[in-house]
Amino acid sequence: MSRKPTNDVPPEILNQDDDEEVVSLESSSDVEFDLAAHPGSVKRGTEIIQHFWKTLPNAPGVYRMFDGKGDVLYVGKARNLKARVGSYTRGQGHSNRIARMIAETSAMEFVTTATETEALLLEANLIKQLRPRYNVLLRDDKSLPYILLTGDHEAPQLVKHRGARKRKGDYYGPFASVWAVNRTINALQRAFLLRSCNDSYYDNRTRPCLLFQIKRCSGPCTQEIPLEDYAQLAEQARGFLSGKSNAVKARITEEMQEASEALEFERAARCRDRLAALSAIQGVQGVNTQSVEEADVFAIDEQAGQFCVEVFFFRNWQNWGNRAYFPKADKSISREEVLTSFLAQFYDDKPAPRVVLLSHEIEDAELMGAALSTRAAARVEIHTPQRGERRQLIEYVLRNAREALGRRLADTASQQKLLVSLGQAFALKAAPKRVEVYDNSHIMGTNAVGAMIVAGANGFMKQHYRTFNMKSEDLKPGDDYGMMREMLHRRFARLVKEEPRAVAAAGEGDAQLPAIERDAGADDSFPAWPDLVLIDGGLGQLQAARQALAEIGVTEDDVSLIGIAKGRDRDAGRETFFKPGQPAFKLPPRDPALYFVQRLRDEAHRFAIGAHRAKRKRELVKNPLDEIAGIGPTRKRALLHHFGTVKAIQRAGLEDLVKAPGVNAATARAVYDFFNERS
């Protein structure tokens, strides 16, 4: 998010000479920065901060630091804004990271809060939203899955859920992965026989489905079980997931005994199977512990300037999985500070459990606990165990963090070697940091979709993948060249607008360097501009891509283009490569770069075909009512419930449409005119 701050800075400060020495980004972060040796931009930044500091209150709040372009550099919270911001103006004792941040600061903005707890919560929210360069960033911010037992239907549904909690019901989790959720739901179905079908499927059943036959559902849709008895099963499931597992198992055991004594052996066998399913849920654990009923366990490790936070989730005495996170943070930041910022962002969109266990003591543990308690509406305790079983658990999680970070560093090194070999194979100025691959997919021109995949030193960067629905009216069905031209034009036109590459604004010496080398030391974050673009196609697709980039003003010095043509029999290993200004060439059959290119191309194929199939599926199930203006989900549902099918609606007269519940005269006229004009 980029915006110009509203605070005014005196022009005599902003207009100081900017040609003085700027702090190098490659300088060591653990050596104190000497302000006297670099008085230029650092001095100006300090004076700008002093200008805002003079009018600050002695109150808690959040401050933001902006650079000259209006981008947020840093978001911080303070118990006392005046004292905290004043620490940036002391002129000495700053680390390189702080000195660089001060040097780039051109403006500041402030928000005062009633308490420091509110400031902490606001800070976490702004960091996740703005992603400032100098903050610790939680990069893997994908929402965690939960189990939802719905509360808006006569027969509660048991499903996995991810995202906003808008639907009424009880949510249990989080789980570390969808696999863990599916495994647990599978066992819960055997234990409590709750339905997993959606409401529409439930309402239209006339006989039990296969899940009833294999004893995974009790069949409430066709009254195979009275709704009162089904409600008791749902209540037992709530109790089990809420931590009352022993009480639930005791009731089922008692019911099994009663059935056995009454010679109802089939009912007793069902109870026996349910008990076995519950035991399976509690028995499948990666860590067995008797001291943790409900807790999240965090352990942080640091190697080679990179951090890993391993998280284990425990609920109802059960291990619900673990996940490794790799937050982005400067290597000068301590593990405790990284862990503090990580916790605030991690729980920004999810409630915390009653206990949070940490491998390292954090400075603001009480404040963090108060903030998490406010968000969770229950008391949250934060502990750093020093002995006993909980300490052994911390050591186990910490060992997993070390191993996960070691694997990531090894994978990154291997991926970097492949990028180096790719740069050498295609005679690039340097190893590419960002590689983009483009492909398209269609069937005889229908449901055409373009796809872009992205790879870097950390492998496939799926958060940067994009699909393109072809919009050009001049595009003929099946025109692969036109599709490639439109896709590249849209991608780079937006890139030039949002992330302009100011080649002309570079210094006298820098102007002679290729774009790849100019940006090499600018930032360690993933670049927005690709260094290498691979086009899945031969010379024709390559020429179309070149034409699209030329129309935007992107030159071959900015982006290297390579076309990949499949072999005669479309066999892997026989690809022909096309590079502008050079004759076609092949790579040696066992070249690692060739295998890497094949992986990239196959991933682009997979993504493009998947996007095409999804679009084709949407078209197949598309409802004509969706095309009528003013017909929303409620009226569409009313029409379908009244007439049964779309064909019946299409054949209905105007008088019949008016009689449908929830449909007024104007809506009936719109529906009638739509189908009669089409026919």
Q: Is residue 489 part of a domain?
A: yes
State the pLDDT at residue 26.
32
State the pLDDT at residue 572.
62
Look-up: residue for tokens 């449409």? 657
pLDDT tens digits for range 319-339: 778 888 999 888 888 899 999
For residue 441, the number of C-alpha atoms closer than 13 Å in the C-beta half-sphere is 17
Q: Is residue 370 part of a domain?
A: yes
pLDDT tens digits for range 260-292: 887 877 778 877 777 776 666 655 444 556 677
| Residue 311: closest CA among 301, 302, 303, 119 | 301
Same domain, 458 and 603: yes
DSSP 559: S
Q: Is residue 513 part of a domain?
A: no
| Residue 105: closest CA among 75, 81, 127, 80 | 75
Same domain, 213 and 157: yes
Same domain, 83 and 155: no
The pair phi, psi for residue 513, each rounded to 5°, is: -85, 145
- Confidence band of 297 (pLDDT split at 50, 70, 90): very high
Mean pLDDT of 569-577: 71
Look at the alpha carbons of 38, 39, 40, 46 in this order and tell me if their dihedral is positive or negative. positive
Q: Is residue 482 part of a domain?
A: yes
Nearest-angstrom CA–CA distance, 355 and 294: 7
Same domain, 50 and 71: yes
pLDDT at 357 over 90: yes
Q: Is there a contact between 108 and 52 (Cβ–Cβ < 8 Å)?
A: yes
Q: Is there a contact between 415 and 458 (Cβ–Cβ < 8 Å)?
A: yes
Same domain, 126 and 194: no
Same domain, 344 and 476: no
DSSP run (H or E) holding 350: none
3-state SS assignment for residue 84: helix
- CA Rg, the chain, in Å? 31
- Confidence band of 504 (pLDDT split at 50, 70, 90): very low
Same domain, 395 and 439: no
Residue that wins the pLDDT comparison between 625 and 393:
393
Q: Is there a contact between 84 and 78 (Cβ–Cβ < 8 Å)?
A: yes
Same domain, 664 and 557: no
Mean pLDDT of 222-232: 89
Structure tokens at 627: 């095309």
Residue that wins the pLDDT comparison between 574 and 456:
456
Same domain, 241 and 324: no
Q: Is residue 497 part of a domain?
A: yes
Mean pLDDT of 373-394: 87
Residue that wins the pLDDT comparison between 40 and 42:
42
Mean pLDDT of 15-37: 39
For residue 574, give its domain range.
426-508+525-618
The contacts of residue 590 (CB under 8 Å, 6+ apart) are none
Which of 87, 102, 130 is the last residue in one of the domains? 130
CA distances from residue 101 to 30, 46, 294, 338 in whole angstroms, order as listed:
15, 10, 40, 18
DSSP 144: P
Q: Is there a contact between 367 and 117 (Cβ–Cβ < 8 Å)?
A: yes
State the pLDDT at residue 329.
87
pLDDT at 220 over 50: yes
Q: Is residue 4 part of a domain?
A: no
Nearest-angstrom CA–CA distance, 561 and 556: 7
Which of 99, 130, 161 is the last residue in one of the domains? 130
State the pLDDT at residue 4.
42
Domain CATH code at residue 352: 3.30.420.10
Domain CATH code at residue 640: 1.10.150.20
Same domain, 447 and 548: yes
Which range in 262-271, 290-299, 500-509, 542-551 is most confidently predicted, on average pLDDT? 542-551
Q: Is there a contact between 148 and 162 (Cβ–Cβ < 8 Å)?
A: no
Same domain, 313 and 251: no
Q: Is there a contact between 466 and 559 (Cβ–Cβ < 8 Å)?
A: no
pLDDT at 568 over 90: no
For residue 178, the number of C-alpha atoms closer than 13 Å in the C-beta half-sphere is 7
CB burial of 188-227 (b: ≥16 within 10 Å; e: otherwise) equals bbbbbbbbbbeeeebeeeeebbebbeeebbbbbbeeebee
State the pLDDT at residue 499.
82
The contacts of residue 574 (CB under 8 Å, 6+ apart) are 566, 567, 568, 586
Residue that wins the pLDDT comparison between 473 and 165:
165
Which of 256, 283, 310 is the last residue in one of the domains? 283
CB burial of 650-663 (b: ≥16 within 10 Å; e: otherwise) equals bebeeeebbebeeb
Q: Is residue 516 part of a domain?
A: no
Beta strand 158-161 with 146-150: parallel, antiparallel or unpaired? antiparallel
State the pLDDT at residue 575.
83
Same domain, 47 and 195: no
Q: What total number of domains does the chain contain?
A: 5
Q: Is residue 418 part of a domain?
A: no
Domain CATH code at residue 439: 3.30.420.340
| Residue 309: closest CA among 331, 346, 340, 339 | 339
- As a whole-number percent, the residues of the chain with pLDDT over 70 amount to 84
Q: Is there a contact between 435 and 606 (Cβ–Cβ < 8 Å)?
A: no
State the pLDDT at residue 184.
79
Q: Is there a contact between 120 and 150 (Cβ–Cβ < 8 Å)?
A: no
